[in-house]
C-alpha cells in the first residue's frame, strides 16, 4: 500500500509538496528522503511529532527514543494505525520550525514506480537556517499576473 501525504508550512500559502510513500517505510527513511528532497543539511537534529485529528501531539519520535519510540522503529502504517494522521517534521528543534505532513489517502502501489516519490510541488524549498520562508520568484510572478510590480528599477 502507498500513502499520499501533503506537505505544508504553517502560515505559508506558497510552499506545497505531495509525496507518495510506501506504508512500510520507517520514519527514519522518510526523514532521509525529506532531507534529500528539501536540501537540508544532514548534520542537524530532527524529529517527528505525531498528531491526531484534533492536532494534539500523541507521539514524539527522534533518532533516540524520546519515550514513544525511535524513527527507525516506526513505519507510516504503524503511525496511521495508532491514529496519528498528521506528522510534524521538525527540522529546526531550537526554533521549533516544522513541515506538516498530512495523510491524504491510501493508493495501490504501481509496479514500475519507485517510492518514496515527489508527486507535486509548489514554491521553493525552505531555507533550513532562515527564520523566514521567502519565495521572491513566486511573489514576482503573482504581482506580474495582477499587472503590478513590487520592484521598481
Q: Rounded to an integer, what is the distance from CA 134 to the centroid of its chain? A: 17
Domain residue spans of the chain: 2-145
Task: Say what the pLDDT of residue 22 is.
Answer: 97
**What region, left, alpha or beta, does residue 10 occupy, with left being phi > 0 and alpha being psi -120 to 50 degrees?**
beta
Q: What's the CA gap between 11 and 80, in Å, rounded?
A: 25
Task: Say what the pLDDT of residue 131 is.
Answer: 58
Task: Say what the pLDDT of residue 151 is.
Answer: 39
Q: Where are the beta strands (DSSP E) in 16-148?
A: 16-22, 47-51, 57-62, 86-92, 97-107, 117-122
**DSSP secondary structure, 117-132, as one string:** EEEEEESPPPPTT-SS
Report, at the CATH architecture level, how domain 2-145 is classified: Roll (3.10)
Strand-pairing partners, residue 88, are: 49, 100
- 5-37 pLDDT, tens digit each: 999 998 888 899 999 999 999 999 999 999 999
Encode the chain (153 residues) as per-residue pLDDT tens digits.
999 999 999 888 889 999 999 999 999 999 999 999 999 888 889 999 999 999 999 999 999 998 899 999 999 999 999 999 999 999 988 888 899 999 999 999 998 999 999 999 998 887 776 655 555 454 444 444 444 444 333
Task: Say what the pLDDT of residue 129 is.
Answer: 62
Task: Say what the pLDDT of residue 152 is.
Answer: 39
Amino acid at each position: 500500500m502507498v500513502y499520499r501525504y501533503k506537505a505544508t508550512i504553517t502560515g505559508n500559502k506558497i510552499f506545497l509538496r505531495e509525496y507518495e510513500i510506501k506504508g512500510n517505510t520507517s520514519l527514519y527513511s522518510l526523514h532521509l528522503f525529506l532531507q534529500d528532497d528539501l536540501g537540508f543539511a544532514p548534520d542537524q537534529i530532527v524529529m517527528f511529532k505525531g498528531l491526531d485529528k484534533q492536532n494534539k501531539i500523541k507521539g514524539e519520535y527522534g533518532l533516540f527514543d524520546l519515550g514513544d519510540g525511535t524513527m527507525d522503529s516506526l513505519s507510516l502504517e504503524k503511525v496511521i494505525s495508532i491514529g496519528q494522521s498528521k506528522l510534524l517534521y521538525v527540522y529546526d528543534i531550537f526554533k521549533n520550525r516544522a513541515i506538516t505532513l498530512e495523510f491524504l489517502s491510501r493508493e495501490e502501489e504501481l509496479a514500475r514506480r519507485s517510492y518514496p516519490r515527489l508527486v507535486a510541488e509548489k514554491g521553493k524549498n525552505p531555507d533550513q537556517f532562515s527564520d523566514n520562508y521567502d519565495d521572491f520568484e513566486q511573489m514576482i510572478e503573482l504581482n506580474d499576473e495582477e499587472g503590478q510590480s513590487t520592484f521598481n528599477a
